Structure 1
């Protein structure tokens, strides 16, 4: 939003609106009937003040709404969009603006860069990178942009709570939910008494065993699982329980280490019980054939 007394940057506002609508300059020009060269000049701030009718056509074609504001009004009319872009817009090495609808982002790790397909598990040391990694990147594929925007929106809206319904007092269940979208993450744990485990009176010492942390595949690597573990730790502290144990496989070990767990010297044996091999246990009936 422009400060009082400053001219409103129409070009920056249009770029922002076009980015939200995921439209290229050519696509917006085709929708609005405004020549692409005119749109490019407006966004670049060249050619003087654009005609109000031209701006209105561009804003309407991008799904926005113009609002007039009288002096002294604090807010625009209901339903209007207040647009603005930071002054320091990202530019490429040739000092050209990136296309606004591509959602430019900084490359902080190899995971951020779509061109790092060659970095298996994103663990290669920098000296082994076959190409120079750019400072900024973007997704050309529309589906990838939509998925990234949806992930960002879901992360901003997700809420966390402990669930008690239908659970015994020694069970711990925490949910991550998106309003209107249901659960997107879950943590389950249970208490155990060290007194009973060791057969000694240790002053009613209790511990928690972490059974699992699950996050929806499309929302992983957003910090949801870590937030669930933090919520468990907070509840444990309130119940005066100091220790939580966990046994994980696959990539769960790295996740738990990042959450503050420590590896222990003792290792439990990994066993599996297949009930079909036990005496006195009948096998489940075979599913019926298709009858072809």
Structure 2
């Protein structure tokens, strides 16, 4: 068997470079087609171990027909190219389509292997990055009490979840937050809108003299009241609420307003805490009244 080091000659290791280029091209094609190695091998009628060797660069001289079947099964095309009129040689066959490279191809698992090309792989820095941490939403455990150690990276095999994650990434990338003025807004009201249905934030200034009737030392001259953060259900947990609140705080400070007051419940509390708000004991509690004898849930 010829080793890779024996195949480098006057061409400067061209055979090895071509094998590596073919590996990257096949993985990129397979990602675009959303196919696992097993699925692509079945479509092409090629053994899965053969495909694995080509993608890893270990198959330095794969058969042209094998490569063609794999490329076509992944939605690509094959071609023969002539580099220039000054050259009398014909360039080797190559895939004519150059799809987007696999974004996580530089990542390796704990065994030094690449992650599946057709999946979305991301590094795990904290519990929310790890789908396996199903218990993180209910239990606040210190790291030493985690049931399992955090993996270096994670990915989602379920196609529906994967598609939702890619959709969410596109929403985060394309959403713009802007301040809206005029219209039916009062003079003391600001509105920040994310360019998505039902995603908006409203705030207005509240004078402490109106609330308390007179000036108290330590109470800021100008205070913002956060009236609401409204995000449509399908767009939640994408960071849009935090972007809206951050836009408000930035504008508030630029306008010389020192403090912001807010009333929240449930996950709204977590949102505001993540945006830098703090719970103040001196604030009045939120109360509720209902019909006598009616049992309350939640």
TM-score (norm 1): 0.72
Match of 1:134 in 2: 151
Is 2:203 the counterpart of 1:162?
no
Equivalents in 2 of 1:169, 1:66: separation in Å?
Answer: 64
Post-superposition shift, 1:232?
0.7
Secondary structure at the aligned position of 1:161 is classed as strand
**Residues 260-275 of structure 1 correspond to what in structure 2 (within 5 A)?**
260-272=276-288
Question: Residue 19 of structure 1 contacts residue 103 of structure 1 at CA under 8 Å; is this kept in 2?
Answer: no
After TM superposition, give the deviation of residue 79 of structure 1 in Å.
8.3
Q: 1:221 to 1:169 in 2, by over 3 A?
A: same
Secondary structure in 1 matching 2:190 = strand
More displaced, 163-172 or 59-68?
Answer: 59-68
CA RMSD between the two structures: 3.6
In the TM superposition, what are the counterparts of 1:178-189 in structure 2 within 5 Å? 182-183=196-197, 185-189=199-203
Residue range with higher mean Cα deviation, 134-143 or 216-225: 216-225
Distance 1:120 1:39 in 2: 40
Paired residues of 2:242 and 2:275 also in contact (CA < 8 A): yes
- Per the TM alignment, residue 106 of structure 1 is displaced from its structure 2 partner at its CA by 2.5
**Matching residue of 2:225:** 209
Q: Which residue is equivalent to 2:101?
A: 83
Match of 2:54 in 1: 42
Classify the secondary structure of the residue corresponding to 2:147. Answer: coil
Q: Contact conserved, 2:109 with 2:152, CA < 8 A, in 1?
A: no
Q: How far off its partner does 1:148 sit?
A: 1.5
**Distance in 2 between the 1:58 and 1:209 partners?**
60
Q: Secondary structure at the match of 1:189?
A: strand
Determine the C-alpha separation between the residues in 1 that align with 2:147 and 2:36.
32
Aligned to 2:240: 224
> How does 1:1-292 map onto structure 2 within 5 Å?
7=18, 9-50=21-62, 54-64=66-76, 81-83=99-101, 88-93=106-111, 95-164=112-181, 165-177=183-195, 182-183=196-197, 185-199=199-213, 205-272=221-288
CA distance in 2 between counterparts of 1:97 and 1:240 reads: 52
Give 1:51 deviation, angstroms.
5.3
> In the alignment, is the contact (CA less than 8 A) between 2:105 and 2:114 conserved in 1?
no
Post-superposition shift, 1:105?
2.6
Q: What do the CA deviations read for 1:246-289 (whole angstroms, capped 9, x no partner)? A: 11111322322221223323121424477x99xxxxxxxxxxxx
Cα displacement string for residues 87-145 of structure 1 (whole angstroms, at most 9, x for unaligned residues): 6441343x443322232332222233333334453522223233344333322211121
Partner secondary structure for residue 227 of structure 1: helix
- Aligned counterparts of 1:9 and 1:207: Cα–Cα separation in 2: 60
Deviation per CA, 1:192-215: give whole Å up to 9, x if none: 23344444589xx54321012233
- Count of aligned positions: 260
Q: Distance in 1 between matches of 2:248 and 2:34?
A: 39
Measured after TM superposition, the shift of residue 24 of structure 1 is 0.7
CA contact (8 A) 1:191 1:209 kept: yes
